[in-house]
Structure 1
């Protein structure tokens, strides 16, 4: 897409394609997808996308039980934003009910178990990739696991609930959970988060998944943004966001993009990471966590890369399909690309909104 294309037309194209997505209650990517729709209404001054989201959330709230295994992927943070804007009492009751359900799940080192049976996510690897006999046996019965994506789900949701006056215990839960992921998933060699951890083996798998670093960094920043400045642990979360952002700048390519596994050139290009990082870098600048003198250039490069990855119809090209997960790192090299999905369209819109906020600060 022409970088000089009218930004309103560009945002509308991206949002309209996102609106065509058949959202479910709930699935991975819904959190950033609905956040993107809300951002589109703000960018365009058009209530259509916000109204669609509110209606979808309200319909869910009236039939939210029995809870489903993927309800941990519900866009709780975004639903809290709608509650704050509208005062919708039915939706407020729904999100508090959901948060209590999520908080009650089994914990490991303070972090909620994502899957009691990770067969819901683990799969045979994409590509002509062979597993060892030990990996094949483990794939048959992998047990419970904790996944990086969830840094974008529960902790920002809990932090936002605390901001809505649901109780200070939600702020404590947000900090405890988000920092718990660091203890379980951070790889000290690369300074990046691994995709998942299995209880059965007690180890992590797959370092440096690009979109996963986006889930992590946005989760960290959103917790900071919605906690009181004097909240216990807030400064620790901000410091971790800064550390991870610096590592991602280290791995940024000359064209502003990142590899699918950001430390591994053989994993090939992947486009959603630039949209996630543009959102994160601009958002971190706007809330005062990142110094613009250090991050503005990287933010602008990521944003320019994102614009270059858009086609004339507002599709963010080069985005991988749902990765799920695999025990073999090479799986991530071969995930199909050019998927028009919420985790591509959504962060493209949030990046535009975050950039607009920073440009307003410049003025």
Structure 2
């Protein structure tokens, strides 16, 4: 190794040494800053222990009504802008006005979310509730603007479906010719609630009856009358279908004044419990297949959300003297107690409820909070 090479190597070693020292110094400075940031602002000498703020990663505290309303308003503003109740030509994208202009090239304008998915059925019910609780009719108007629109255009698309089906907007076909409880139940329940709250029974009657005809007479059932599907296996019960059917049934009882629909809903709850509730866990399995033995048991967060939300909705309507109310109320309490014990340290629940290494899941957290809130 010549003199120049030795000199170059010494220079590199010196540079690396200085960089290492700078890194250690920087780390020490950062550590000191973090320690200073986390240092308690008070102690027992200056503040009673019960008044000191705990150093938790989640800022626990009493929710502020003004802040919650501000967040809701932001959500409403966003959704109002991104779910337009309008029609367009699917090729030219030109707007279409009037029922007479509806043809095979007419479709709903594609916003960020579909206007009649089961997710939007839940959203409509939530908006109605927000309107009642806050007294702000903007939330209610969001719902009525869209459901009025759908009820107005439905006859035009129905006439089109009777002539041809190949080119009809699939989003409208889903509304008018449901193929699964996902297509019908949540939106129907929201539509009934809106009709009763805003005096729109006659306006929404055709769509409500169309949805309920599918739920009551066309949806597949097991021999005992349990709502079921033939996917992914023959005679499969999905926990999701509790919410995709039973709130609509109890709301239809309010809508028609016929208690038979409440009785049907209560019977379905007990059938779901018989097949899907696991007493040792206090939770519902996500699915049940008639020909499987043993039955797999995976405790999916959102599916259990649909279950407890269904129980909550059914109990809201079920008469105090109904013979099945005590059993359903006890099921709700048992389920809620088991769920409360599984809440994570950040306030959320996990995607698989009994698997803390699964990710934190927002939708089930929102549902549980709604159902358990006083």
Do they superpose with TM above 0.5?
yes
Distance 1:210 1:221 in 2: 16
Q: Secondary structure at the match of 2:359?
A: strand
**1:34 maps to what in 2?**
124
Q: 1:25: Cα distance to partner?
A: 5.8
Q: 1:8: Cα distance to partner?
A: 2.1
Q: Does 1:66 align with 2:66?
A: no
| Residues 317-336 of structure 1 mapped to structure 2, 5 A cutoff | none
Distance 1:16 1:202 in 2: 50
**2:188 maps to what in 1?**
76
Instruction: Indicate if the aligned counterparts of 1:25 and 1:71 stay in contact, CA closer than 8 A.
Output: no
CA shift in 2, pair 1:57/1:116, >3 Å: farther
Q: TM-score, normalised by structure 2?
A: 0.62
Instruction: Indicate if the aligned counterparts of 2:122 and 2:186 stay in contact, CA closer than 8 A.
Output: no
| Residues 279-294 of structure 1 mapped to structure 2, 5 A cutoff | 279-282=370-373, 285=374
Q: Does 1:221 align with 2:221?
A: no
Q: 1:228: Cα distance to partner?
A: 1.9
Q: Does 1:15 align with 2:76?
A: yes
Deviations 1:125-172 (A, max 9, x none): xxxxxxxxxxxxxxxxx3342211222221111112212334111011
Q: 1:264: Cα distance to partner?
A: 0.8
**1:112 maps to what in 2?**
227
Structure possessing the higher radius of gyration over alpha carbons = 2
**1:159 maps to what in 2?**
250
CA shift in 2, pair 1:103/1:232, >3 Å: farther
Q: 1:18: Cα distance to partner?
A: 4.1
Q: Does 1:103 align with 2:216?
A: yes
| Residues 101-140 of structure 1 mapped to structure 2, 5 A cutoff | 101-104=214-217, 105-108=219-222, 109-113=224-228, 115-118=229-232
Q: How many pairs does the alignment contain? A: 259
**2:354 maps to what in 1?**
263
| Residues 307-322 of structure 1 mapped to structure 2, 5 A cutoff | none
Q: 1:269: Cα distance to partner?
A: 1.7
Residue range with higher mean Cα deviation, 235-244 or 3-12: 3-12
Q: 1:73: Cα distance to partner?
A: 4.3
Instruction: Indicate if the aligned counterparts of 2:342 and 2:353 stay in contact, CA closer than 8 A.
Output: yes
Q: Secondary structure at the match of 1:197?
A: strand
Q: 1:217: Cα distance to partner?
A: 0.6
Distance 2:176 2:72 in 1: 35
CA shift in 2, pair 1:212/1:222, >3 Å: same
Distance 2:214 2:364 in 1: 31
Distance 1:196 1:146 in 2: 6
Instruction: Indicate if the aligned counterparts of 1:259 and 1:270 stay in contact, CA closer than 8 A.
Output: yes
Instruction: Indicate if the aligned counterparts of 1:162 and 1:168 stay in contact, CA closer than 8 A.
Output: yes
CA shift in 2, pair 1:227/1:272, >3 Å: same
Distance 1:202 1:159 in 2: 33
Instruction: Indicate if the aligned counterparts of 1:210 and 1:259 stay in contact, CA closer than 8 A.
Output: yes
Per chain length, whose mean CA-contact separation is higher, i.e. which structure has more relative contact order (CA < 8 Å, sep 6+)?
Answer: 1
Residue range with higher mean Cα deviation, 145-154 or 193-202: 193-202
Q: 1:262: Cα distance to partner?
A: 1.3
Distance 1:237 1:161 in 2: 19
Q: TM-score, normalised by structure 1?
A: 0.64
**1:50 maps to what in 2?**
140
**1:330 maps to what in 2?**
none
Q: Secondary structure at the match of 2:205?
A: helix
> Structure 1: which 5+ residue stretches go unaligned?
119-141, 286-363
> Structure 2: which 5+ residue stretches go unaligned?
1-57, 84-111, 156-174
Distance 1:116 1:26 in 2: 23
**2:95 maps to what in 1?**
none
Distance 2:295 2:183 in 1: 24
**1:171 maps to what in 2?**
262
